[in-house]
Amino acid sequence: MSLANTITLARLPLLLLLVALLFVPHWQVQLVGLGLLIILFLLDWFDGFVARLRNEVTEMGAVLDVALDRAVENILWITFMYLGLVPLWVPIVFLIRSFVVDGMRGVALSRRKSGFGMMHSPWGRFLVASRFMRAFYGLAKAVVFCLLYLTHALALKDPRVLVTLQPLNQILILLTVGLCVLRGIPVILDGRIYFTPGKGQE
């Protein structure tokens, strides 16, 4: 297995560890978990950097990266919902979007088109495939999850923190959900070609 894919897979046990730490009732432990969460998101960037540096960019690596991204975001949304920091509808939106978008990408992959290579409309290429939007969306998720983790940690020390930070949390959650939906729509629209007979073929 390539080094890049090993780094990608290392994110899974790290994710499970920091989720477990969320249920330790000591705010100092939560701060350790917050540090691990930051490392988790840095690894998401680092595996791609290593893949490009070592010329290890492969279809398997791309699939693993997307799968781990989905695991991270969905598990964290569900966990924070369980802790009462996120409303139920948020993980529902992300789960539906994951199933629909990844299903479309699976069909495109069977036609030898990558998840980003399947985008053919200008706005689809910008919203989904451009490095700017990918980085912006990744940053939005990292910021909201880190703030939720920090909120949980500080609330264990002083529950009044929830009153102060929850409005900001909700704004960032709405922004992230909006980006999630906005980036999912072009995948569906551009992916329709792969369900039209005689189109989307090499």
CATH number of the domain to which 146 belongs:
1.20.120
| % of the chain with per-residue pLDDT over 70 | 96
Q: In the predicted model, is pLDDT for residue 84 greater than 60? A: yes
Q: What is the model's pTM?
A: 0.88
**Has residue 52 been placed in a domain?**
yes
Q: In total, how many domains does the chain have? A: 1
Res 107: pLDDT: 84
Q: Are 178 and 200 in contact (CB under 8 A)?
A: no
Work out the burial of residue 187: count CB atoms within 10 Å of its CB; fewer than 13 is exposed, 13-18 middle, 19 or more buried: buried
Distance CA 15, CA 1 (A): 21
**Of the listed ranges 24-28, 53-57, 138-142, the one predicted with least confidence:** 53-57
Long-range contacts of 21-26 (CB under 8 A, 24+ apart): 22/79, 22/83, 22/149, 22/152, 25/156, 26/156
Res 65: pLDDT: 82
* Closest to 115 in 3D by CA, of 20, 191, 32: 191
Domain containing residue 141? 3-195
**Has residue 148 been placed in a domain?**
yes
Segment holding 46, helix H or strand E: helix 27-53
> Who's near 154: CB < 8 A, 6+ residues apart?
27, 161, 165
Distance CA 193, CA 198 (A): 9
**Has residue 156 been placed in a domain?**
yes
**Has residue 73 been placed in a domain?**
yes
**Has residue 121 been placed in a domain?**
yes
Res 24: pLDDT: 93
Distance CA 98, CA 100 (A): 6
**Has residue 201 been placed in a domain?**
no
User: What is the band of 172 on the pLDDT scale with cuts at 50, 70, 90?
Assistant: very high
Res 198: pLDDT: 58
**Has residue 34 been placed in a domain?**
yes
**Has residue 200 been placed in a domain?**
no
